[in-house]
Structure 1
Amino acid sequence: MLKVLQACVRHQVCVRRQVCVRRQVWSSVSSAAQRGSDTAEGRGVTRGGVRSCTVDPNLQEQFVFVEFTDPEDDPQQEERRILHQFRAASAAGSPGSAAGSPGSAVGSPGSAAGSAAQLTPHKHLRSLEHQLQVLRSGDQQEAELDSLIQFQDVDFLLDDSVTATKKKKKKEAGGGKGEHKIFGTPDVDEPVSNTCCQGCGALLHCTSTAVPGYLPSEKFKELQQEGRLGGATCQRCHLLTHHHQALNLQLPREQYKDVVRQVRAHKALVLLVVDLLDLPDSIIPDLPELVGANKHIVVLGNKVDLLPADAPNYLQRIKRQLLQYCQDSGFAAQVTDVHLISAKTGFGVEGLISSLQRSWKYKGDVYLVGCANAGKSTLFNTLLESDYCKSRAADVIHKATISPWPGTTLNLLKFPIINPTPYRMFRRQQRLQEVLQQTEEELSQDELRRMQRLSKQGYLVGRVGRTFRTNASPSEEIQFDPDSLAFGEDGEPTATAPSRPSSELTHNELKDTHWLYDTPGIMKELDILSLLTEHEVKLVVPTQAIIPRTFVLKPGTSLFIGALARIDYLQGQTSCWFSVVASSRVPVHVTSLEKADGIYEKHAGHVLLGVPVGGLERMKEFPALVPQEVRVEGRGQLEAAADITLSSAGWVAVTAVEGDQLLLKVHGPQTAGFSVRTPPLLPHIISLKGQRIPKSVAYKPLKAAGLLDRGLSVSSAKTPQLKKKKKKN
């Protein structure tokens, strides 16, 4: 920096000398012009208001060079020498010098040029002293070049909004808080590792960005050299987890099934995860062929927290209907139990764990199997933080990547199952009894906040805890598991002596253990999510408690569910009710049959219909709606006759007068797989409609009350926080 400053000093002295000489010539020329004379040394001519001059080529400019010395010898002495030489150079242009004597034409104290020549060296001297002081203090910072230059067009003033937008883009380009900067290039020469991604299960590599498990070559080689590749996640999982961005990466459908077929050769228990919002399409029809006809199957109806209670004992009715669908698929003989759970809120999970520890115990491995987007990875993470997993493994094993995008899990993920010895079962039962007797005042602040947050997102809320932990107690008292001594295996003590934490499980911890595996989701043949983009999937897949929206339609009217589906009411004796059970972010629009085609052509892709998003350009890619006729017989004004299922987007329950014959026409993409479901899943959903909104065909939606599962059974009593919420509503 000091060398650069010396060069700047030399440049400033040279420029100052040139300016002084030119000012001498210009002053002489101006004087000659005023006297009307024209000399050979300088000539001043005014032509059209523009003044020109000619400089004497024989006049030689004088330059002063500052001698260079190494600043490392004596920095203080070097600074003083530069200042001394700069003052000497400045004195050459002072009024006492030959060039600036009082008798000269340029250096007269009364002239403007002479005043400028006197003030300029002092300004440069003060600037130089200030820079040297900053150098000595070590606080010099690099200034941005753009901040030193300001441009403003007089005719085109810069708008403040444009300036703010540029600053925002510049800030984003520089990297904001929590932003993931995609960098690096693939390296085709680097071999694929034998380490799997902790988020999706794909093998980590850096050869190609289009292959699952990709990491940038710079990151991949760095982690491999440091030995930390075993705990890493691929770039796709990182984007899904931290930035909610889904890369368009899908494997062939048969490749997902090939991974699940590995279950056939093992003694295992199959946990079939079914999406209750997509019944019966989310039940795998050829499940015995994939896992084997000799496997025991436990059916888990997931996402029950999103369904409202249309009548008392509605959970038992859903459980019976789910078992009937399994019987229709041909594997009811292998089903040993049916559970309704919520992997997100924890409802029914503690009961599932207790059932597995009593029935299956420790006989073999357990596999989570189901269709894509059924919630297997969410259940995997919930069980990882429960009594079903070895206590220390929950702190070591990475959670599975979760997203609404189908096909997130690409290979097997696993965690070790705890051995349910009698002592552990006794301790677990004690904890569940204590949880059952807890009141709101005894709950921690974190638990209260969690219950309040989940009660807003779902109707059914549960509590999943851990009986055995590896954290040391404050008194550092060593508590051991007597079963670990009796059975000769390493157990999970409730507290251990302080020791150095390990990032991997030891051989003794994993000896003779059994595992719970999370398998890739089976891709459905007909699914509307395969036609949507990443943003549209987030809008369509319900993540909050569904509040049914009911509309009364007369013959000759149409009901739009976004731009995804359209239901025409063609024939019927009286009006009937359509209850839409779908995400609240998908708009519903009712119009006459004559205007339906025009509204779809004009508003598809725009705000009115909502989904898909992207205007006319997006609708050119979206498949056309294909009509199909549906006939429904009414069963009364208090019971729905049938459900028109909209694949993973939900369904529409149709309620009509008993005996009324309805003719409907359902429009939807041919590859979406819309169908009619009888009997309906929630037949009494019409009871959840509120009062009729004046001058409209809509009813006010009502949200059903929520229940709390404390781990043993469904409690009919509401929690205190749920009661407060109901009063506010």
Structure 2
Amino acid sequence: MTLNQLKPPRCAGCGIPLQSEDSMKPGFVPASSIDKEEAVCQRCFRIKNYNEVSSVTVDQDEFLKLLGGIASTDSLVVHIVDLFDFQGSLISGLQRFVGNNPILLVVNKIDLLPPVTNWNRLRNWVQKQAREEGLKVVDVVLCSARRNIGFDRVVEAVNTYRQNKDVYVVGATNVGKSTVINRLISDYSDLKRELTVSRYPGTTLDAVHIPLDDGKSIIDTPGIVYSWRMSEIVPRKDLAALLPDKPLKPLTYQLNEKQSLFFGGLARFDFVEGDRQSFTVNISGGLTVHRTKLERADELYEQHRGVMLSPPSTEDLDTFPTWTRHRLRIAPNSNQDIFISGLGWIQANGKQGATVDVHAPRGIRVLLRESIL
């Protein structure tokens, strides 16, 4: 047997080695088709036949290898982030990989915030948070790809900053990256003219080129998997409860010190020390909040986790990471959120300061940030 025969077949569209084990990974093709001549991966097939990009994912190391070549190109980089999980989905190290190429930050899922939100203040908040993460952006566009809100501004910004360049679209999993690309391909006349000749993939590894009429391409990269996001560790069947698809309904709790809040069985918030004050919880409506005294919290968790305190359900407890405690001190007269990546945030409304603990699965990102609202 020759060396070439030992190598896996490659997709005739994008060149990625084909595999039939994991439909969420690059190069997936049904086992019955993998040995066919000119076989194409699932993602290329959907672009070719349905003008639709499907989501695939890679781990962090593979994604960084893929990003490594962007600095040597002359491109516009469109970084899509999830407003609901901003610090969890932002690629903070992106700047060093893209070199001098401009970065357009597209902030998706703004439909989750109240309609009375001050959008100019939100844009300023996003710009400040991006700077603090070491990201320099040429512009920030707020949108909801799902609800078709603000998408005309996305198209306008891409056209403005592209300037006859390729467009690399990057983002973490579950940020709506594929939805945004599909809108660019199919729904908007501004770009339809550029996408009339060919929507077939180009030839590159781990990324799919969607050619434009001027010889340039929109380049769809796989979604990066960040293990510090709650959405990456909960069982797939629980994602619908975790990830909101309707506007958030903030829940405000007046708490005395030594009181606790459980968010299903995913995390716990303890008000350890401070004067009586209110905390506003912004999480998916699919999760139930349980309130108890701190002295009873451990016992309540042991007795009711997996049932009353769920997700995760009883059958998933053995594979779910154990909790780690994070102690956070909220300064007096500050305006801060307690952010739990992938779960949401708790806005501290008191001006007198507080000490709080967050118990979350090991590895999940928990931090204090300037309040988003």
Corresponding residue for 1:569? 271
Closer/same/farther in 2, CA of residues 196 and 534 from structure 1, 3 Å limit: farther
Q: State the partner residue of 2:90.
A: 283
Contact 2:337 2:368 in 1 (8 A): yes
Deviation for aligned residue 1:281: 3.4
Aligned equivalents of 1:378, 1:551: Cα separation in 2: 35
Q: Give the whole-Å Cα distance in 2 for the aligned partners of 1:571 and 1:392.
A: 59
Ranked by relative contact order (alpha carbons within 8 Å, sequence separation 6 or more), the top structure is 2
Question: In the alignment, which residue of structure 1 is the partner of 2:166?
Answer: 365
- Contact 2:230–2:364 under 8 Å retained in 1: yes
| 1:235 positional shift | 12
What is the match of residue 343 of structure 1? 145
**Aligned counterpart, 1:193:** 10
For residue 153 of structure 1, what is the aligned residue in structure 2?
A: none
In the TM superposition, residue 538 of structure 1 has moved relative to its aligned partner by: 2.8
> C-alpha separation between the residues in 2 aligned to 1:564 and 1:573?
27
**Partners of 1:561 and 1:587 within 8 A in 2:** yes
Partner of 1:233: 42
Q: What secondary structure sits across from 1:281 in the alignment? A: helix
Given candidates 639, 651, 658, the residue that maps to 2:345 is 651
Alpha-carbon deviations, 1:479-536, whole Å to 9, x = none? xxxxxxxxxxxxxxxxxxxxxxxxxxxxxxx5x5111111122333522233221112
Bigger Rg over Cα: 1
1:374 to 150, 154, 175: 175
Partner of 1:589: 290
Report the AA paired with residue 288 of structure 1. Answer: Q
Q: 1:645 to 1:189 in 2, by over 3 A?
A: same
Match of 2:310 in 1: 610
For residues 596-620 of structure 1, the C-alpha deviation after alignment (integer angstroms, 9 at most, x for no partner) is 11111111111x222112x1x4222
Aligned runs of 1:635-646 on 2, under 5 Å? 635=333, 641-646=335-340
Aligned: 1:531 with 2:233 = yes
**Counterpart for residue 549 of structure 1:** 251
Instruction: Determine which structure has the larger strand proportion and give its number.
Output: 2
What one-letter code is carried by the residue in structure 1 that aligns with 2:328? V
2:107 match: 301
1:546 is displaced (CA, Å) by 1.6
Partner deviation per Cα, 1:266-310 (whole Å, 9 max, x = no partner): 110111212111223322221122211x11111111111111145
For structure 2, the residue ranges without an aligned partner over 5 or more in a row are none
Matched position secondary structure for 1:675: strand
Q: Cα distance, 1:195 vs. partner? A: 1.8
Match of 1:579 in 2: 280
Show the counterpart of 2:29.
Answer: 215
CA offset at residue 391 of structure 1? 4.3
- Deviation, structure 1 residue 562: 1.1
What is the alpha-carbon distance in structure 2 between the residues aligned to residue 209 and residue 308 of structure 1? Answer: 38
Aligned partners of 1:357 and 1:378: how far apart in 2?
A: 18
What is residue 223 of structure 2 aligned with on the other side?
A: 521
Give the distance between the partners of 1:251 and 1:298, measured in 2 at CA. Answer: 22
Measured in 2, the distance between the counterparts of 1:527 and 1:620 equals 19
Aligned-partner SS, 1:596: helix
8 Å contact kept, 2:208–2:219: yes
Q: For residues 299-351 of structure 1, give each alpha carbon's deviation from its aligned partner in whole angstroms, at most 9, with x where no partner exists.
A: 1111111111455xx1111101111122223343xx22111111222211112
SS in 2 for 1:368: strand
Deviations 1:693-717 (A, max 9, x none): xxxxxxxxxxxxxxxxxxxxxxxxx
One-letter identity of the residue aligned with 1:578: F
Q: Secondary structure at the match of 2:252?
A: strand
Q: How does 1:263-274 map to 2 (within 5 A)?
A: 263-274=70-81
**Does 1:354 find its partner at 2:168?**
no
Equivalence for 1:328: 132
Distance 1:204 1:290 in 2: 27
Unaligned runs of 5+ in 1: 1-187, 400-409, 418-509, 683-729
Q: Does 1:412 align with 2:229?
A: no
Paired amino acid for 1:366: V
User: How far is 1:397 from its partner?
Assistant: 3.8
In the superposition, relative to structure 1, how do residues 299 and 559 fare at CA in structure 2: closer, same or farther (>3 Å)?
same
Q: How many angstroms apart in 1 are the aligned matches of 2:347 and 2:300?
A: 23
1:628 maps to which residue? Answer: 326
Shift of 1:189: 7.1
TM-score (norm 1): 0.45
What is the root-mean-square deviation of aligned Cα atoms in Å?
3.1
Alpha-carbon distance in 2 for matches of 1:569, 1:412:
46
Give, as a single letter, the amino acid of the residue that structure 2 aligns with 1:285.
Answer: S
Contact 1:271 1:299 in 2 (8 A): yes
Q: Is the 8 A contact 1:195 1:204 kept in 2?
A: no
Query: CA contact under 8 A between 1:369 and 1:519: conserved in structure 2?
Result: yes
Residue number in structure 1 paired with 2:121: 317
Partner Cα separation in structure 1 for residue 304 and residue 116 of structure 2: 34
Aligned residues: 357
Confirm or deny: 8 A CA contact 1:571 1:664 kept in the other structure: yes
More helix by share: 1
Q: After the TM superposition, which segments of 4 or more aligned residues of structure 1 sit over 3 Å from their partners?
A: 188-191, 201-206, 208-212, 214-222, 234-237, 249-252, 358-361, 388-399
Distance change in 2, residues 1:631/1:319 (3 Å): same
CA distance in structure 2 between the aligned counterparts of 1:605 and 1:215, rounded to whole angstroms: 36
The answer to whether the Cα contact below 8 Å between 1:215 and 1:235 also exists between their aligned partners in 2 is no
Shift of 1:564: 1.2
SS in 2 for 1:280: helix
SS in structure 1 at match of 2:225? coil
Say which SS state the counterpart of residue 130 (structure 2) adopts: helix
CA change 1:611–1:296 in 2 (3 A) is same
1:601 and 2:302 equivalent?
Answer: yes
Displacement of 1:380 after TM fit?
0.5
CA drift at 1:190 = 8.8
Measured in 2, the distance between the counterparts of 1:392 and 1:323 equals 30
Q: Superposed, which structure 2 residues align to 1:407-556 within 5 Å? A: 411-417=206-212, 512-524=214-226, 526-556=228-258
Equivalences for residues 123-162 of structure 1 within 5 A? none
> How high is the sequence identity, in percent, across the aligned residues?
28
Change (3 A) 1:605 1:236: farther
The correspondence for 2:367, drawn from 675, 680, 696, is 675
TM-score by length of 2: 0.84
- Kindly state the Cα deviation for residue 191 of structure 1 after the two structures are TM-superposed: 5.0
For 1:387, which of 178, 181, 189 is the aligned residue?
189
SS at match of 1:264: helix
User: How far does residue 583 in structure 1 lie from its aligned partner after superposition?
Assistant: 1.0
Does the CA-based 8 Å contact 2:228-2:363 persist in structure 1?
yes
CA 1:389–1:655 in 2, change beyond 3 Å: closer, same or farther? same
